[in-house]
Amino acid sequence: MKKALTITLSIVVIASVLTSTLRWNAQRRDAMVIETHLLPAPSAKLLNPELAQRIVALNKRAIEGPERIDSLAMLSRVYHANGYLNHAWQTYRILIEIDEENPKWPHNLATTVSGFGQLSDALALYRKAIELDREYIPSRIHLGDTYLKLNRYDEAKVIYQSILDNESANPYALFGQARVSLAQNDTIRAKHLLESARHSNNRIGGDLLADIYERLGETSKARALLHEVTWSSHVDISDPWVDDIVSDCYDSFEVAMAAGKAGRAGDTARAIQLMNKALALDPLDHYAHDHLAKLYLIQGNLNQAKKSYANCTKILPTYDQGWAGLISIEIKAGDHVKASEIIEQALVNCPNSLVINNYKGDALTNENRPQEAIPFFETTIRNFPQNAVGYNYLARAYIQTGQNGKALEQLQKALNAEPSNPLTLKLITIFYILAGEQVQAESHLQKAILSPRISEEVIRNLQTMFNEEFE
């Protein structure tokens, strides 16, 4: 009995010593790996003071403990968020080694590595991330994209299809499949896939689809699509493991970029939140205030937009876009008196501004004082000869004063500056129709029809005018 007890106790003691020793060894090994491989912290002189303090503290805790892995994880996040990508890269490598079941580390390292263009290296890392977490779709989309960009179309297809098997409308997988189809010259399949992708998310694939419509002779579809898409409207897949890192960023520019990305993806609330964070880091960034105002306008929050534009004008009175925003809001609200007051203030601060001179000239034209408006448009043209807008306004003022020859001259200059400016094409087509010059009218009407930036309604109206005049 005593012997059995002794043995049992011995086993318990041994097991407990073994466990403790194993844990101790694992921790010692982690500490050694961290200490050996962690890059020296960047010079504190270049850093935001709070960021510098955090980096020092996290480095210390990562090496000395306690909670080495958590500290290292936070350090990787801080480095990644603040643009110290080599440091983040190395930290992720260590985390992959010592926290080997966590899919975030291979995923985030793959994103960093691929961000520099090292696709071959990213491949294994994305595969590893998926092995650890099959449910995280961004890893799988990125793996598919990586195969695609390595010309490994069959493997890309398998990955995209595996996503579509569970989520048949995933726009990024559909888009990926469409790109594979295009690479394999299957235009019809690509068309259907892109149409499906856009059905799920209309910020994806419009550019490729418009090209396909054009090549297939489906010109009205191409035209409608190009009229609908916002230029450069493609958005990345949301990737929370990487995107959320920005909350630890101390660089106002990078935070503003993240805000812009969120805004482009249609998440205005998130964009506003991030832009406010950017402004907390750099309250004097007038561009961020301007961008924030634009985001508030998208939300329909005119008061906040006004405040943000007003901040622009206070921070940098010569920044014309702040004034322009305020003027625009007052005009839309119908308060022309207030708008005129702001225009006068703006002109004092920004005498050569394109947008402010145009506002002033336009206000005078609307008050039926086109002759007085002309010098303002001339200022615009003098300072921005490559921009069609000033010529358009000036042409309109000339038309109002009955100087049609001069108006035509300005419209031609506008077209020279910007050959498919929608307003110019519309005005010059109307001009030639009213002047009874059929050949010129028809030529410009055709150019208008070819320009997707002109709405179908305007085209119909021009066509009707043309027919009434010449048929």
Partner 1 sequence: MELQFPNSTFLLASLALLLTACNRPDTTLDSPAPPITRAEVDLDRYLGKAIGKEVEEIPWIAHVRAFDLNQDGLMDAIGCEAKYDEVVWLRQDDKGQFEEILLASDMQAPVHAEVYDLDDDGDFDVLVSCMNIVFPNNDKIGALIALENDGHQNFRKRVLLEGVERVTDARAEDMDGDGDLDLVVGQFGYDQGEVRWMKKVGPWKYESQSLLHLSGLINVCVSDFNNDGHPDIAAQFSQQWEEIHLFENDGKGNFTDKIIWGSTNHDFSSSGMTEADLNQDGLPDLVFTNGDGFGPTLKPGPRPWHGIQWLENKGDGSFNYSRIGDLAGAYSPVVKDIDQDGDLDILSVSAFNDWENPKAESLVWFRNDGDRGFTKVTLAYEPIQLLTIDFADFDGDGVGEIVSGCFPSFPPYDRTSRFTIWKETANR
Subset of residues 261 to 290 that bind partner 1, contact rule: CB under 8 A? 261, 263-264, 285, 287-288, 290
Amino acid at 460: R
Question: Is residue 80 classed exposed, middle or buried when 0-12, 13-18 and 19+ CB atoms within 10 A define those classes?
Answer: buried
253 contributes a contact to partner 1 by CB under 8 A: yes
Stretch in the footprint of partner 1 (CB under 8 A) among 298-306, 328-336, 400-408, 445-453: 445-453
Q: How many CB atoms lie within 10 A of CB 369?
A: 14
Between residues 116 and 470, which has the closer beta carbon with respect to partner 1? 116
Tell me the C-alpha to C-alpha distance, in Å, between residue 350 and each of 227, 342, 376, 379: 33, 12, 12, 12
CB 69 within 8 A of CB 98: yes
* Interatomic CA distance for residues 290 and 313, integer angstroms: 10
Kindly report the backbone phi and psi dihedral angles of residue 233, in degrees, each rounded to the nearest multiple of 5, phi listed first: -90, 0
Judged by CB under 8 A, the residue of 8, 10, 446, 455 near partner 1 is 10
Q: State the nearest-atom distance from the C-beta of 222 to partner 1, in Å.
A: 9
> Which of 236, 442 has the CB closer to partner 1?
236
In the list 58, 76, 84, 391, the residue contacting partner 1 (rule: CB under 8 A) is 84
Residue 206 binds partner 1, judged by CB under 8 A? yes
Residue pair 74/93 in contact by the 8 Å Cβ criterion: no
As a whole number of angstroms, the distance between CA 136 and CA 105 comes to 13
Contact status: 27 vs partner 1 (CB under 8 A) = no
Encoded one letter per residue, x for contact with partner 1 by CB under 8 A and - for no contact, window 152-191 reads: -------------------------------x--------
- Separation between Cα atoms, residue 305 and residue 332, nearest integer Å: 13
Cβ atoms of residues 462 and 426 within 8 Å: yes
Q: Which of 60, 199, 215, 460 binds partner 1 (CB under 8 A)?
A: 215
Q: What angle do CA 68, 69, 73 make, to 5 degrees?
A: 120
Is residue 245 within 8 A of residue 80, CB to CB? The reply is: yes
3-state secondary structure 92-157: HHHHHHHCCCCCHHHHHHHHHHHHCCCHHHHHHHHHHHHHHCCCCHHHHHHHHHHHHHCCCHHHHH
220 binds partner 1 (CB under 8 A): no
CA atoms within 13 A on the CB side of 33: 19
Piece in contact with partner 1 (CB under 8 A), picked from 6-14, 158-166, 330-338, 347-355: 6-14
Task: Give the footprint of partner 1 on residues 417-436 (CB under 8 A).
Answer: 418-420
227 binds partner 1 (CB under 8 A): no
Selected binder of partner 1 within 416, 461, 464, 467 (CB under 8 A): 416
Task: Kindly state whether residue 236 participates in binding partner 1, applying the rule CB under 8 A.
Answer: yes
Q: Does residue number 213 form part of the binding site for partner 1 (CB under 8 A)?
A: no
* Least distance (Å) between residue 105 CB and partner 1: 9
Tokens matching residue 313: 């004008």
Helix (H) or strand (E) holding 326, with range, is: helix 320-332
Size of the site for partner 1 (CB under 8 A): 88
Q: Does 90 bind partner 1 (CB under 8 A)?
A: yes
In order of 34, 94, 95, 136, the CA distances from 109 in angstroms are: 17, 11, 10, 15
Interface residues for partner 1 in 128-157 (CB under 8 A)?
142, 145-146, 148-151
Is the peptide bond preceding residue 66 cis, with omega within 30 degrees of 0? yes
Phi then psi dihedrals of residue 345, to 5 deg: -60, -40
Closest to partner 1 by CB, 287 vs 377, is 287
Choose between 30 and 330: whose C-beta lies nearer to partner 1: 30
Question: Which of the ranges 83-91, 359-367, 392-400, 463-471 carries the binding residues for partner 1, by CB under 8 A?
Answer: 83-91
CB of 9 to partner 1, least distance (A): 9
Residue 362 or residue 418: which is nearer to partner 1 going by CB? 418
Report the nearest approach of partner 1 to the CB of residue 127 (Å): 12
We find the least distance from the C-beta atom of residue 386 to partner 1, in angstroms, to be 6
Distance in Å from the first CA to the final CA of the chain: 118
- Contact region for partner 1 (CB under 8 A) — 3-11, 303-311, 361-369, 437-445? 3-11
Q: How far is the CB of 102 from partner 1 (least distance, A)?
A: 14
Pick out residues in 296-325 that bind partner 1 (CB under 8 A): none
How many alpha carbons fall within 13 Å on the CB side of residue 55? 27
Residue that has been written with the tokens 């295009």 in this structure: 182
